[in-house]
Amino acid sequence: MSTREKGGRFWLLAILALCLSAFVAVGCGSDSKDEASSTSASASSDSGDTIKVGILHSLSGTMAISEVSVRDSELLAIEEINKNGGVLGKQIEPVIEDGASDWPTFAEKAQKLISQDQVAATFGGWTSASRKAMLPVFEKNKALLYYPVQYEGLESSPYIFYTGATTNQQIIPALEYLQKEKGVKKLFLVGSDYVFPRTANKEIKAWAKANGMEVTGEEYAPLGSTEFSTIVNKVKASNSDAVFNTLNGDSNVAFFKQLDGAGLPSDKLPVVSVSIAEDEVRGIGADKVKGQIVAWNYYQTTPGAENEKFVKAYKAKYGKNRVTDDPIEAGYVGVKLWAAAVEKAGSTDPEKVKAASKGLTLDAPEGKVTVNGENQHITKTSRIGVINENGLIDTVWESDGPIEPDPYLKTYDWAKGLS
Amino acid sequence: MEALLEQLVVGLSIGSILLLVALGLTFTFGQMGVINMAHGEFIMAGAYTTYVLQELLGAENITAAFLLSLPIALVVAGLMGLLLEATLIKRLYGRPLDTLLVTWGVALILQQVARDVFGAQNVAVASPAWLDGGTELFGIDLPYNRLFIFALAMAVTVAAWVVVGKLKQGRRMRAVMQNRQLAAASGIGTASVDRRTFFLGSGLAGIAGVALTQLGSVGPALGTYYIIDAFLVVIVGGLGQLRGAVIAAFSLGIINSLSEYWTQASLAKVIVFVCIIVFLQFRPQGIFATESRGLA
């Protein structure tokens, strides 16, 4: 009996060891793919002529779908800056950490990057939950975070630079477009059940009330849910003119497939989405969302020399079938903005970088952007797009120039009492 | 009234999906008592099998790729299950907690492997043209993909019932489940029966994976969305009870769809859980109890 048990334990240990070594091998494999990280890591381990920056995204778990591409564009920006001599004559060395789609992990890894790696700035986050988890860490340590995704607004941390859109640069233009261009009178709200959709819908309802649009329904599905039959039935029964979609991640695929199955394609019931970009369209399948409306500030098709250069460089580095989209561009812009501010300040000290960032302008792929010194968001041009059969997005409406960021919606009467 | 009917149909549709993902578990968990947390990843493997076949056969053979992936996913997922049984689970029979931890670890490994092989991005599986769109009956929408999943769930259930209830293999399976020592003493090779049961249970997960490609996109985390629901169906239905699983799946589906109609999707999940907790207070053994002395 006892020998048998020992034998069993031996095999178990052997297999565990095997699994462990497989893990290590996999880890090494994926590291060597990131040329930028491995080359700079080896070049710099013992010398003082590099500046470390943190890159903190979910490389595993449910959010990896979206965040891996943003990490890629941030690495591309770092590589480009390094090729041109780096910042302050030093090469930038990225330290990559995995937030693992788990919000406490984001806070923990942020602390590690700041205190152990002593990074000059961190680029990272995607979900509002991860940002909210990291916020106190960066404020406590007086360190900088560049956050690359559109979000629900009502926030302005002195240690975060928001390079994605806030509400008045994305959602409000989308609502105005629906009312003026599409004549929408009845709007149905569908979203994932977490902080961004719930806050965004609160703002949408306040806007609708002030502007004479009727909200016919408001439904939330758990994150990751793929069961939308009931919600689709409710949408159908409500006789709405359009749907405002704040679903995140995988749920979008199921939602659009089931809308399609219920005989509600885009020409019958337009859906406006604020979380689907070119990268997500690849996972959904372009045929399911062809003709649907999205609201962002940048598309791969956005004209301009800066964007042509960016798209070309991104595809050259990561493959022809990869696409660029809004958060990917915002991640890239974040790195470039930080580097420009550091050059201007002549230092990587967060307070000096913050001071130098005030009013800083940059020719980004999305067009000219300016950092608002007060709330540390950036000016952005709002663009409404329609998804075409190739999975790319064509701009159908554009704001007159960049819109000033207004995260607390101070300039809107209807928004009083929201924050 | 029409809304009620509509929600009943939705409930049946949800139920058929639940049944499909839980069928494999009625074998591995229900019959053998193995808590296999990697069951969800076998579902994922089936889904990726569809994707790979579709890539191999090209865009003009979508129907062929889809139909072919049903048997191939059964074999792929079945072989993965066989490998798991032979290397790890075999050594852990009678140690449910260890099995749970080890298979959970295996599940994480499989998810990461999928992420490294197929990329972190979800991949889209195209639907055959005949599964796109839907029809209408008495004013109720019947999407073709849901009808197909319903039919598939029924077919697989009947096949499983035939295997367990009518074939020699199934009789051995039941014998081993009811009393392992006596079965062994009667000349049944219990180890080989275990292997076959596990192959079958895992293979059914693969088939469920193929069906799920018609609902959403395929990603490394696909299995994690369904594993809990699958266990719930088996537990509510009663361990090792095919008919229990059928009744449980459809009941949970209908409770879910009705409560979602009157409340909200997030709240509906809560209501379903509350129903299950209350039900298990009164009938901890599930809808049908296993009449056996073999299980501890």
pLDDT tens digits, B140-175: 777 888 888 899 999 999 998 898 888 888 888 888
The ipTM assigned to this model is 0.73
What number of helices (H) and strands (E) belong to chain A? 14, 14
Q: Across all residues in chain B, what is the average pLDDT?
A: 85
Question: B134-137 and B140-143 as β-strands: parallel, antiparallel, unpaired?
Answer: antiparallel
Task: Specify the range with the lowest mean pLDDT, choosing from A42-46, A381-385, A394-398, B143-147.
Answer: A42-46
Count Cα atoms within 13 angstroms, Cβ side, for A89. Answer: 3
Of the options 3.40.50.2300, 3.40.50.1480, 3.20.10.10, 3.30.565.10, the CATH number for the domain spanning A167-301+381-415: 3.40.50.2300
Q: Assign A37 a pLDDT band (cuts: 50, 70, 90).
A: very low
Give the Cβ contact number of residue A374 at 10 Å: 11
Mean pLDDT within B94-118: 87
Beta sheet of A393-398, edge-to-edge order: A214-221, A186-192, A242-246, A271-273, A293-296, A383-387, A393-398
Rounded distance between C-alpha atoms, residue A276 and residue A297, angstroms: 12
By CA distance, what is B269's nearest residue in A? A222
- Tell me, what's the pLDDT at A295? 95
pLDDT tens sequence across A146-168: 999 999 888 999 999 999 999 99
Tell me, yes or no, if B91 comes closer than 8 A to chain A by beta carbon.
yes
Query: Is pLDDT above 60 for A35?
Result: no
Report the percent of chain A where pLDDT is more than 70: 89
The structural domains of chain A, with segments of one domain joined by +, span 167-301+381-415
Residue of A278, A213, A285 whose CA lies nearest to A255: A285
How buried is residue B186: exposed, middle or buried, by Cβ count under 10 Å (0-12/13-18/19+)?
A: exposed
Query: Is pLDDT above 90 for A134?
Result: yes
Rounded to the nearest 10 degrees, what angle do helices A64-83 and A305-318 cross at? 110
Name the residue among B17, B124, B269 with its Cβ closest to that of A283. Answer: B124
Name the residue among A11, A65, A254 with its Cβ closest to that of B215. Answer: A254
B-contacting residues in A 209-238 (Cβ below 8 Å): 219-222, 224-227, 229-231, 233-234, 236-237
CB B61 within 8 A of CB B30: no
Mean pLDDT within A405-415: 88
Q: Across all residues in chain A, what is the average pLDDT?
A: 86
Q: Assign A29 a pLDDT band (cuts: 50, 70, 90).
A: very low
Tell me, yes or no, if A198 comes closer than 8 A to chain B by beta carbon.
no
Mean pLDDT within B100-116: 89
Query: Is pLDDT above 90 for A91?
Result: yes
pLDDT tens sequence across A43-76: 333 347 899 999 999 987 777 778 889 999 999 9
Tell me, yes or no, if A10 comes closer than 8 A to chain B by beta carbon.
no
Mean pLDDT within A97-116: 92
Rounded distance between C-alpha atoms, residue A136 and residue A129, angstroms: 12
Domains of chain B as residue ranges with CATH: 2-282 (1.10.3470)
- Tell me, what's the pLDDT at A414? 85
Mean pLDDT within B12-17: 90
Q: Assign B64 a pLDDT band (cuts: 50, 70, 90).
A: confident
Q: With contacts defined as CB-CB under 8 Å, which chain A residues touch B3?
A: 233, 237
- Provide Rg for chain A, Cα atoms: 23
Rounded to the nearest 10 degrees, what angle do helices B144-166 and B168-178 cross at? 80
- What letter would DSSP give residue B167? S
Mark yes or no for CB contact B265/A227 under 8 Å: yes
The identity of residue A176, as a single letter, is E
Name the residue among A233, A237, A287 with its Cβ closest to that of B10. Answer: A233
Residue of A81, A173, A155, A178 whose CA lies nearest to A121: A81
The more confident residue out of B77 and B139 is: B77
B-contacting residues in A 78-107 (Cβ below 8 Å): none
pTM as predicted: 0.77
> Backbone phi, then psi, for A336, in 5-degree steps?
-65, -40
Rounded distance between C-alpha atoms, residue A352 and residue A365, angstroms: 26
Tell me, yes or no, if B123 comes closer than 8 A to chain A by beta carbon.
yes
Mean pLDDT within B57-66: 82
Tell me, yes or no, if B270 comes closer than 8 A to chain A by beta carbon.
no
